[in-house]
Chains A and B, each alone.
Chain A
């Protein structure tokens, strides 16, 4: 999209469609966040409740839309796409894995040991 020199046609329509999608996703998130349906909050899947899974998946979808449509990642070369996206995804997953497992471990220690801290 950026490398060619001929006159660019307008993408205004596409931009508004993406805005519509992002708005709808946000509205769904907020709506779910307010009503918090019991069956989603109380059902766990891989140690997290379904509602949180839905939130995270919708967030990643929004992030994808912003990066691809607004930041024009769809027009970049595959090498740039991979260099940016794969690096971030790998490092973030790595960091999250270590910190969340460790956080959970400390929680267990606080809960099961003989120290009393919450009084």
Chain B
């Protein structure tokens, strides 16, 4: 017991050990140390995201246009609703955690166990939701092409609404030369085959005269932007992406080199390449924290059931994992703001 729970030393023996600096037990103070360092790690990630975003402020993807899925609502644009739901689930699991801590203070074993179980379930639902979000992000919805310069071109109709590659790309009879190791450097692998080739997208674009191209660049409604002859009249809105007119669209599409569907660490159909990297790293790192939090919660849950803390006459362990769990929630509050809102 002495190793896990220290009690206040009443004998004023400053150097004799058993003291609690800052009035917190050893375990709790160490948890706070860990939280401070972990908070700085996350700040590093988010600040790096801010750095890259400021660097490419004119062509950073707009989160509202990327995360538009909601379970069972196919084809319905529902920006933010799903992340909002995830946020609620995590905040609620934080509430059940703090209720468990509260019940622990009153030594109510059954109540602690019940609230811990709710917390674990909340955490699992959150991790599952994140997996679903990743799946949609990786799979993509509309598809895009990449130009020689590495920027992303998306397709819209005359109303400025997004059009899927599948809706217009034509099917061409094409031969694909297989890349054999005898014809190249040994580590070269054959490139992945997208659903449509660049030629098919270009042919389909030609066959649909009402299609236009939307670039990565964000329209700022400045003098220069208004004078830009390449932009479609009447469709461009301030702080939304630029939509090119038909002639300029055709000229841009001639530069296409790759068809991009969904996202990976190298490129994504949403825009700036770094966007997907940051999405995977920040939400992935956070998801990993939630996952390890769930594992730790499960361990503590079983300890509660076994009566370990009853024997110890202290539920401080629940308090310590509670600190970690609230911290995970706290980080999500920031990730939510800087990834989805701002």
Q: Which residues of chain A have a CB within 8 Å of any CB of chain B?
A: 2-3, 5, 7-8, 10-12, 15-16, 18-19, 22-23, 26-27, 29-30, 32-34, 36, 41-42, 52, 55-56, 58-59, 62-63, 66-67, 69-72, 76-77, 79-80, 83-84, 87-88, 91-92, 95-96, 99-100, 102-104, 106-107, 110-111, 116-119
Contact = CB atoms under 8 A, between A and B. Distances in A.
Interface SS of chain B: helix, strand, loop or mixed? helix
A95 B47 contact: yes
A115 to B, nearest CB: 11
B151 A118 contact: yes
A119 to B, nearest CB: 4
Interface string B30-46: 00100110011001100
Closest 9 CB pairs between A and B? A103-B54, A119-B149, A8-B105, A80-B22, A103-B51, A99-B51, A30-B84, A59-B337, A77-B23
B269 to A, nearest CB: 17
23 contacts: A3-B23, A8-B102, A8-B105, A15-B99, A16-B95, A19-B91, A32-B341, A41-B239, A52-B341, A56-B342, A59-B334, A63-B333, A66-B333, A70-B94, A70-B95, A71-B322, A71-B323, A77-B22, A83-B32, A84-B35, A88-B36, A95-B44, A103-B51
Given A15-B95, A71-B323, A107-B54, A118 B216 contact: yes
Given A59-B337, A70-B94, A119-B149, A88 B39 contact: yes
Interface stretch (B55-63, B133-141, B184-192, B303-311): B55-63
A66 B39 CA distance: 14
Q: Is the interface of A mostly helix, strand, loop or mixed?
A: helix
A56 B216 CA distance: 26
* Best-buried of A33, A59, A71 by chain B (most CB within 10 Å): A71
Interface in B79-126: 79-81, 84, 87-88, 91-92, 94-95, 97-99, 101-102, 105-106
B254 interface: no
B340 A70 contact: no
Contact of B40 (A72, A88, A119): A88
Nearest to B97: A70
A108 B79 CA distance: 31
Contacts of A5: 7
A83 B29 CA distance: 11
B273 interface: no
Contacts of B333: 59, 62-63, 66
Nearest to B52: A103
A87 B36 contact: yes
A118 B342 contact: no
Given A59-B334, A76-B24, A95-B43, 18 more contacts: A3-B8, A3-B23, A15-B99, A15-B102, A16-B95, A30-B80, A32-B341, A34-B79, A42-B238, A63-B330, A70-B95, A71-B322, A71-B327, A71-B330, A84-B35, A88-B36, A103-B51, A107-B56
A60 B323 CA distance: 18
Contacts of A67: 326, 330
Contact of A84 (B32, B105, B255): B32
A60 B102 CA distance: 25
Nearest to A32: B341
A12 B99 contact: yes
A15 B79 CA distance: 30
Contact of B149 (A12, A33, A62, A118): A118
A106 B56 CA distance: 9
B232 interface: no
